[in-house]
Amino acid sequence: MRVRPRSVSERSPAGDETLGRTRRVMKELEEERKQILRDLFPSASYTSQNIGSISRDCAICLGEFLEDELCWVLPSCKHMFHSSCIDRRLMTRFSCPVCCDFVSHV
């Protein structure tokens, strides 16, 4: 026996209100976690002149870094990523996508 999901017209106002509050709380928690991660890990402005052996592209999205773009540098291994890419990665895994080194704060 399959259960049919409720249509929008069948939902109760109380259920919609609870769902809305839950989504707001989840969004706030996600923003708090992102802020904590930003505080823990250093960011750097990418410049092609001083990259040394650092890759010219993000290992997560494979996109090139742009001049003066804000990037994150993982403190343990010094690998660099776009902020948005590593934000998403660190929400689920605490390891570097390049070397699999455990990511810990400085």
67 within 8 A of 49, measured Cβ to Cβ: no
Instruction: Name, in order, each residue with C-beta under 8 angstroms of 72's C-beta and a sequence gap of 6 or more.
Output: 41, 42, 43, 44, 80, 81, 82, 83, 86
Which element (helix H / strand E) includes 39? Answer: helix 13-40
Per-residue pLDDT of the chain in tens (106 residues, 90 and over written 9): 666 666 555 555 666 788 888 888 888 887 887 777 667 666 667 766 555 446 788 888 999 988 888 888 888 888 888 888 888 888 788 888 899 988 765 4
Pairing of strands 43-45, 80-82: unpaired
Where do the domains of the chain lie, and which CATH numbers do they carry?
A: 13-92 (3.30.40.10)
